[in-house]
Chains A and B, each alone.
Chain A
Amino acid sequence: MARTMFEKIWARHVVAEGPGGQTLLYIDRHLLHEGSTAAFVRLARTGRRVRRPDLCVATADHYVLTSPGAPAPDAEIRDMVQSLGDNTARQGIVYFGQGDARRGIVHVIGPEQGLTLPGMVLVCGDSHTATHGALGALAFGIGSSEVEHVLATQTLWQRKPKTMRITVDGRLGAGVSAKDVILAIIARISAAGGVGHALEYAGAVFGAMSMAERLTVCNMSIEAGARCGMVAPDETTYAYIKGRPFAPDGEAWERAVAYWKTLPSDAGAAFDREVRVDGAQLAPTVTWGTSPQDALPITGRVPDPAATADAGRRASLERALAYMGLSAGMALTDVTVDRVFIGSCTNSRLEDLRAAAAVAKGRRAVVPAWIVPGSGLVKEAAEREGLDRIFREAGFEWREAGCSMCVGMNGETARERERVASTSNRNFEGRQGKGARTHLMSPAMAAAAAVTGRLTDVRQL
């Protein structure tokens, strides 16, 4: 019978069928960050051991400061990093800590190190774990109790989700990026559209994308409500993986590729839901509200709540506009910004920085603009290409790797009512700091906002 890629990977990881239709699923790779502390504490309290420390890799990202040499703002922030170092050392888990160039955002370093491979089941106590699905892995985010469960057993109880295929055909226009594609998809299916589903992104647009672009798309699957999103592995995938530190090589490489070629969904495989989008119709996209589904082409206008019939929807639109400090009907390109953040697990890879630098080059930032690379290795590679010089000359701030202002857990937050053009993935109320206002967009669009001080159509620059 024709099977989807999701079903093939799932079936290969079934340890046991348990009570009540739940499946005990084997976990090939477990990535950890500072947020894992509570799970380690509970594990120690119950006297349980980490079953497979060799399948875990940890990195410090959320609580690390990204201004070179800055001291942690408080002891709690310092302790979050410290306790990850202590716990991983005690358990014999590979850890990329401060001073290690391999350290970076967990969803950047997994693929970068070859820790993420096609056909794997990979988990991490972070909702953006879907990112890793870009390589053809079944990757999903889990909570703290599930982290503890995986540490103790290397398995998880899961109920099989439904499947949804999102096909984007055609070709993207100039200036339209992977970020625009995923924002448009979320606007189309809604922030709840993928709840209970495993997504597969298919069609010519994803086939033509680089691995960095596919990672951007899969990263935001959770913003459409889905725990996982994946792209079938192909030559782009294999070329990306080959030679990475933890990737197979020699005879194992040949066997791996032969196996990976069996993973893509079979012709005729049935999905529970199909969505089709015409890639040629997409434009550079920005969010105006407080949910990632509140996204529109940059040529659009802020929606008018009065035009909405549903009372509940109208109330939530009004609330979003009040929080964002926007008025109905204003042109998005009339919205001025106070600061720019280019980074996060969505858009902090070398290609993202290149796209931003291409816009920044020879121009001047008129608002504070931060560049936060996704990993120490991304930072080094960018510096070898001279991207840091381009940014510095354009008045951008070149920082260390980490999550930084995507979530501000390390204290790097935007101020109350500050309006941020951001390449991150969430524009929730308070996400980038209490009262901060976030507009999501691509790296090129964020760089354009930095040099004009307003939301800008990068195609017009």
Chain B
Amino acid sequence: MKLKFFATYRTIANCMEREISAPGDVWSLLQALAEEYGAQMRAKLFTPDGGDIGMDAIILVNGMNVAHLKGKSTELSEGDTVAIFPMVAGG
């Protein structure tokens, strides 16, 4: 599957996008990313208690916010695209 980083996540990961093997679900993916990239990534991805996706993490699976799918339990498959954004705004 394809993994894309944007804005501050791109800075932390020093990577725009890459191919990875699909983990079981979004939660597994986020745990793996926190493990790989360390404390700064963990602090942005998770709530302070570590129990949920944090306020500053917008996770899209094939363009849909996981909040409107199955949240952190959203399953991932080969062929999916996951895009990770901080909270951003514009206009």
A binds B: no
Interface residues of B (CB under 8 A from A): none
